[in-house]
Structure 1
Amino acid sequence: MTKTAWIFPGQGSQATGMGVDLQSLPIAQTKFEQAERILGWSVLDLCQTELEKLSRTLYTQPCLYVVEAILADLMLERGHQPDLVAGHSLGEYVALYAARVFDFEAGLSLVKRRAELMDSASQGVMAALMGFDRAQLEALIDQIDGVVLANDNDLNQVVISGTSEAVEAVLSRIKAKRIVPLKVSGAFHSPLMEEAAAEFQQILEAVPFKFAKVPVLSNVEPKPAIEANVLKARLIQQMTGSVRWREISVQLAQEKVERVVEVGPGKVLTGLMKRAAPGVALSNISGFNDLPA
């Protein structure tokens, strides 16, 4: 049997029209109806609106969770099973759902509140860097207070997060092929999210977690785990902790994973995997036509 991992993308992978091709399927209809009751608005409608609105954190995160969860359920319904799961930032919630750590509605309720808290964050900024000297960047982050490595995607692609002054200080001193300021409301995955994270922790701790049916690699600790208390503790740290995706990619290769399936819109994560673990077979399940028989 081929050892397979399912990986779930996060904010940034959203696309207008995602999930629309699933709406006639019974599983999807049920999930879209459940989501509307929880959210108070239609995921299908939002996914067909202009990208600017869909890309607002308040809407992006619940929409991605719902669409990716439906795709995961359809995969499971067709008899496909992962050996491990992982998700990038918001995608970790879908990974936990796919591993049956919590049910769909509990997960969406968490994602809804997470999105609200992150959307209302007003401190700090984020910027993506591609093609840079890693040692120089790490030295600058060590020297400058108020900035952290928020997303360690691969050796040549990262996101930094922090106060506007600290981020600008790093960007003014680093040489990079490309620098992209991110259109986000605050400094996600940094200490500036501590107030929001503290409020979210109270909500998270009240939600019962089950042992995972398959091991989950978490953003803040990219080692496989199934224990409910461990997975919850890792998720509590996620809002202020770094997304260690580069290490997740390496760990999947070390776990002898032979095939990685990105479940969700786009090919961001398989693109990163291609560079980090070139010998692994990659595929994408972005919509109905990608579903295996």
Structure 2
Amino acid sequence: MPEPDPGPAELPLALLLPGQGSQYPGMGTGLYRDVPAFAAAVDEVLGLMGPAGAELRADWLSDTPRLPLDHVTRAQPLLFAIDYALGSLVVRGGRRPTVLLGHSIGEVAAAALSGVFTLDNAVRLVMDRIVLLAHAPPGGMVAVAASREEVVPYLSPGVDVGAINAPRQTVLAGAAGPLRRTTWALRRGGFTCTPVASLTPFHSEALRPLVERSALGPTGAPVRPPAIPIVSGYTAGWLTGETALDPAYWTRHPAEPVLFWPALEFLLAGEQCLLLECGPGQGLTTLARRHPVVRSGRCPAMSLLGPRTPDPENEVRHFLTVARTAGLKLP
């Protein structure tokens, strides 16, 4: 008689850490109010940001924030803080992950969880990045329900493929005017285009001159190879020790395309695992459920925060349910 398939709590754990576009008003505020360990981890990150962290917290918890959440100086550091805090809860909850995969800023959170950066150094990297990108040209990102090969003929000068999220989900990025023209052409061609929540053309060549000015020095540099294996969202393979210790690898991320789907395929080519999204929403979980290995049930996918909700109570209930299912013991 065949043995039953292992449940989620028995499977090796792979963490997915989301990036730009996953943010939404009120994200994580229920946990901040009701889960002390989560609040402590977020406060630790924001405290390392100094006065900017205090201002970020005030905007995050306010009904009338000073700056919109999609602004680079709000979304990027807050996504890092929430991803890192949720990942910390998992590690401290007795389920050490066997692998980490981050999307965009999520890979910096993965690097902090894995010890590539000290938390202080990771925060320095994030703050260095947003200072530079605050001067980026107005622009954005658009998700297209099409393959990379299908969208390339429509690209206007100044628009780049910013991410390969699924076989038929390609994200474009660029300055406002060129991106608008490309989107218009794609829609006329019959493709469905959905704006990504971003006021900055992340993962486009428009950011290359800015990221090349990074002044990241020894106090913000990586310090050791990953203690928990990381699948790079930029190479779609293992993040080697040599690459992890190269500051230039990290500083150029905002101008490089994210290869999430190829990286996910690399991750899922191994043993059975539970994919657990540690960050706002369930965008990466939704993408992962398109993969045959996930659809088969061999590698189930769950999100700790679940669907976007303005209700903190719903957020906490979902979190506690998934945490129990995944076998986490909350500190």
| Pairwise same-fold verdict (TM > 0.5) | yes
* Number of positions where the alignment pairs a residue of Structure 1 with one of Structure 2: 289
Amino acid at match of 2:301: L
Partner of 1:19: 28
Structure-2 residue corresponding to 1:107:
122
Q: CA deviation at 1:54?
A: 2.4
Offset of residue 149 of structure 1: 0.5
Alignment of 1:197-208 (within 5 A): 197-200=211-214, 202-203=215-216, 207-208=221-222
Change in Cα spacing, 1:228 to 1:44, as seen in structure 2 (3 Å) is farther
Instruction: Select which of 100, 108, 131 maps to 1:93.
Output: 108
Check conservation: 1:212, 1:228, Cα contact below 8 A: no
Cα distance change, pair 149–32 in 1 and its aligned pair in 2 (3 A) = same
Give the CA RMSD over aligned residues: 2.6
* Cα offset, 1:231, TM superposition: 5.5
1:284 aligns with 2:294: no
Give runs of ≥4 in structure 1 deviating > 4 Å: none
Unaligned runs of 5+ in 1: none
Is residue 217–residue 223 contact of structure 1 (8 Å, CA) maintained in 2? yes
Deviation at 1:2, TM superposition (A): 2.7
- SS in structure 2 opposite 1:208? coil
Following superposition, the deviation at residue 207 of structure 1 comes to 1.3
Unmatched tracts of structure 2, length 5 or more:
1-9, 306-315
Does the Cα contact within 8 Å between 1:124 and 1:186 map onto a contact in 2? yes
* C-alpha deviation, 1:103, in angstroms: 1.8
Q: CA deviation at 1:215?
A: 1.6
Aligned position for 1:122: 137
Aligned twin of 1:74: 89
Could you give the per-residue CA deviations for residues 37-82 of structure 1, whole angstroms, max 9, x where no partner exists?
5241335433223487223221111111112211111111121111
Post-superposition shift, 1:9? Answer: 0.7
Provide, for residues 73-124 of structure 1, a one-character-per-residue CA deviation record: whole Å limited to 9, x for no partner: 1111121111111111111111111111112222122112212322321154
Q: Which residue of 1 aligns with 2:43?
A: 32
Residues 30-179 of structure 1 mapped to structure 2, 5 A cutoff? 31-40=42-51, 41-42=53-54, 43-50=56-63, 53-122=68-137, 124-130=139-145, 132=146, 134-141=148-155, 144-174=156-186, 175-179=189-193
Checking the alignment, whether the CA contact within 8 Å between 2:17 and 2:103 is kept in structure 1 is yes
Q: Secondary structure of 2:237's partner? A: coil
Secondary structure of the equivalent of 1:203? coil
Q: What TM-score comes out, normalization by structure 2 length?
A: 0.77
Q: CA deviation at 1:177?
A: 4.3
Matched, 1:261 2:273: no
In 2, are the aligned partners of 1:110 and 1:204 still within 8 Å (CA)?
no
CA contact (8 A) 2:19 2:104 kept: yes
8 Å contact from structure 1 (residues 218, 235) kept in 2 = no
Q: Percent sequence identity over matched residues?
A: 22
Does the aligned pair in 2 maintain the 1:219–1:238 contact within 8 Å? no
Whole-Å Cα distance in 2 between the matches of residues 211 and 13 of structure 1? 28
Instruction: Go from structure 1 to structure 2 and tell me whether the alpha carbon gap of 1:148 and 1:231 turns closer, same or farther (over 3 Å shift).
Output: farther
Q: Distance in 2 between matches of 1:16 and 1:165?
A: 27
Aligned residue identity for 2:111: L
Provide the rounded CA distance (Å) in 2 between the counterparts of 1:153 and 1:15. Answer: 19
Q: Deviations over 1:165-205 (max 9, x none)?
A: 543443343334422344533322111111211122x3166
Partner Cα separation in structure 2 for residue 95 and residue 214 of structure 1: 9
